[in-house]
């Protein structure tokens, strides 16, 4: 039914988000909810929201819902690392035993452990892993998934990852948004310094990325053990000169990365666990989306992104899972977002906007994230009559149906 016009309903409670602002707080009573609604869907997009089924509609153009459902825009996971091979369960055990990050790395763990396993995997094996993880996310109501490279850390291996992401996107029921994170850490087997490594990426990898149209997004990890603000300056300028969008791993352990993101007009600054009042104010006065990654806070046992302060300052808060084999292995966006809401005192509408409309803004996707005329029919349905129950149960209430571009892709 995705190509021709059809009617979906009746929907006991439809939550549109079409009136939600991009930035700032959202009160509990600010969401538009429509009772007993119908959606008219055509060519994968929402044609109209109706209060009743029009008379004379042919039976084969009706998708009649037999139970009471709450309908939301489907979720968007705007920061993941689901292209990888291997496990870091040993890191997790060591970390919880009080062993430091540096000690774990010296013992053969850390990001380089995943790099070693990912380099040893074939492109086909990486594709299979992406598809399996994407399928899990679809079943949780997520239909748009950003996926980073960054475990290859050489021209050859980064290309393998980006090609795997693009190939997986041809098969998965979700939509994958590839991002190049070749500036994750300086690889151990690179003999030059950080600047020399980025020069190789700029001169040798960027042209192939552009030629093969592998991604429109470039990311970098700004941190003491990764890359400094000074060394990424040329990297980001060259990326923007090629027409790439910028996103930044920022303020995870030390502040400073969010300033780089704002300076380069990044779409988002992601992590922000170490952001102070000055970083919060700067983000709030910019168009850069503040991306909270509560999965990393849970995985590492560190502070959460100061989401309440960011919103109260007028910032744009999105929430993503950071699903990766090291710091955020859970990969459960809704559960993590609900936990963040509990600790940061975010309203349910703020959490919902963070994984839908505001997450779409972080990816510069204006065609999704809310239920309104002309937007993609990317929808998630939960059995029940009150969307608050979804957040109250903190991810334990699972979707009954998921639609992507008007097509039913999951039916529980």
Q: Tell me: the pLDDT tens digits for 251-282?
A: 999 999 999 999 999 999 999 999 999 999 99
Virtual torsion, Cα 316, 317, 318, 319, nearest 10 deg:
170
Domain-located, residue 273: yes
Are residues 326 and 394 both part of a single domain? no
pLDDT digit string (tens) for 326-383?
999 999 999 999 999 999 999 999 999 999 999 999 999 999 999 999 999 999 999 9
Are residues 67 and 83 both part of a single domain? no
CATH of residue 248: 3.20.20.140
100 pLDDT higher than 90: no
Domain-located, residue 288: yes
Is the Cβ–Cβ distance between 284 and 315 less than 8 Å?
yes
Are residues 228 and 240 both part of a single domain? yes
Are residues 345 and 203 both part of a single domain? yes
Are residues 128 and 149 both part of a single domain? yes
Are residues 247 and 126 both part of a single domain? yes
pLDDT attached to residue 1 = 55
Task: Give 382's strand partners.
Answer: 70
Domain-located, residue 139: yes
DSSP character string of 130-166: HHHHHHHHHHTTEEEEEEE--SS-SHHHHHHHHHHHH
CATH of residue 401: 2.30.40.10
Domain-located, residue 186: yes
* Mean pLDDT, rounded, for 82-92: 96
pLDDT attached to residue 105 = 82
Domain-located, residue 1: no
Are residues 211 and 115 both part of a single domain? yes
Q: Tokens 């780089």 label which residue?
A: 260
Is the Cβ–Cβ distance between 236 and 258 less than 8 Å?
no
> In this prediction, what percent of the chain has a pLDDT beyond 90?
96
Is the Cβ–Cβ distance between 106 and 173 less than 8 Å?
no
Domain end position, chosen among 322, 341, 362: 362
pTM greater than 0.75: yes
3 pLDDT higher than 90: no
pLDDT attached to residue 119 = 98
- CA dist 401 and 412 (Å) reads 6
2 pLDDT higher than 80: no
Domain-located, residue 146: yes
- CA dist 132 and 155 (Å) reads 26
Are residues 321 and 332 both part of a single domain? yes
Are residues 277 and 377 both part of a single domain? no
64 pLDDT higher than 60: yes
pLDDT attached to residue 348 = 98
Are residues 212 and 326 both part of a single domain? yes
pLDDT digit string (tens) for 214-228?
999 999 999 988 999
Are residues 349 and 215 both part of a single domain? yes
Domain-located, residue 196: yes
Are residues 322 and 226 both part of a single domain? yes
- CA dist 293 and 304 (Å) reads 8
pLDDT digit string (tens) for 106-129?
888 899 999 999 999 999 999 999
Q: Which of 91-95, 100-104, 239-243 has the highest mean pLDDT?
A: 239-243
- H/E stretch holding 236: helix 229-241
pLDDT attached to residue 102 = 72
Our count of domains for the chain comes to 2
Listed as own residue / partner, the contacts of 107-113 with beta carbons closer than 8 Å and 24 or more positions apart are 110/326, 111/151, 111/184, 111/185, 111/326, 112/185, 112/187, 112/188, 113/86, 113/88, 113/326
Range of the domain at 26: 6-74+370-411
Domain-located, residue 246: yes
pLDDT attached to residue 302 = 94
């Amino acid at each position: 039914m995705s190509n021709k016009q059809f009617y979906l309903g009746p929907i006991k409670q439809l939550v549109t988000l079409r009136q939600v602002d991009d930035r700032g707080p959202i009160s509990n009573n600010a969401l538009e909810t429509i009772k007993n609604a119908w959606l008219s869907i055509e060519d994968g997009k929402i044609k109209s929201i109706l209060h009743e089924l029009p008379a004379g509609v042919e039976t084969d153009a009706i998708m009649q819902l037999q139970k009471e459902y709450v309908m939301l825009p489907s979720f968007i996971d705007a920061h993941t690392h689901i292209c990888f091979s291997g496990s870091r369960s040993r890191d997790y055990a060591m970390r919880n035993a009080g062993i430091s990050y540096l000690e774990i790395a010296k013992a053969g763990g850390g990001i380089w452990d995943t790099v070693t396993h990912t380099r040893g995997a074939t492109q086909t094996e990486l594709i299979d892993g992406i598809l399996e993880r994407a399928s899990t996310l679809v079943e949780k109501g997520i239909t748009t998934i950003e996926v980073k490279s960054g475990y290859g850390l050489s021209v050859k291996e980064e290309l393998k990852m980006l090609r795997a992401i693009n190939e997986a996107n041809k098969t998965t029921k979700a939509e994958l948004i590839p991002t190049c994170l070749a500036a994750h850490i300086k690889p151990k087997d690179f003999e030059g310094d950080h600047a020399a490594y980025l020069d190789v990426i700029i001169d040798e990898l960027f042209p192939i990325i552009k030629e093969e149209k592998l991604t429109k997004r470039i990311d970098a990890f700004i941190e003491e053990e990764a890359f400094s603000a000074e060394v990424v300056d040329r990297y980001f300028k060259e990326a923007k000169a090629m027409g790439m969008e910028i996103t930044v791993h920022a303020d995870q352990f030390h502040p400073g990365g969010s300033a780089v993101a704002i300076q380069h007009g990044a779409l988002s600054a992601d992590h922000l666990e170490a952001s102070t009042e000055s970083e919060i104010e700067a983000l709030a006065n910019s168009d850069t989306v503040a991306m909270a990654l509560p999965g990393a806070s849970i995985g590492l046992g560190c502070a959460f992104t100061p989401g309440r302060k960011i919103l109260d300052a007028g910032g744009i808060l999105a929430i993503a899972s950071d699903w990766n084999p090291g710091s955020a292995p859970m990969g459960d966006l809704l559960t993590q977002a609900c936990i963040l809401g509990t600790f940061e005192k975010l309203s349910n509408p703020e959490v919902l906007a963070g994984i839908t409309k505001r997450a779409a803004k972080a990816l510069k996707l204006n065609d999704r994230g809310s239920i309104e005329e002309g937007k993609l029919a990317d929808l998630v349905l939960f059995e029940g009559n009150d969307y608050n129950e979804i957040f109250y149960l903190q991810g334990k209430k699972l979707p009954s149906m998921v639609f992507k571009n008007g097509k039913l892709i999951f039916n529980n």
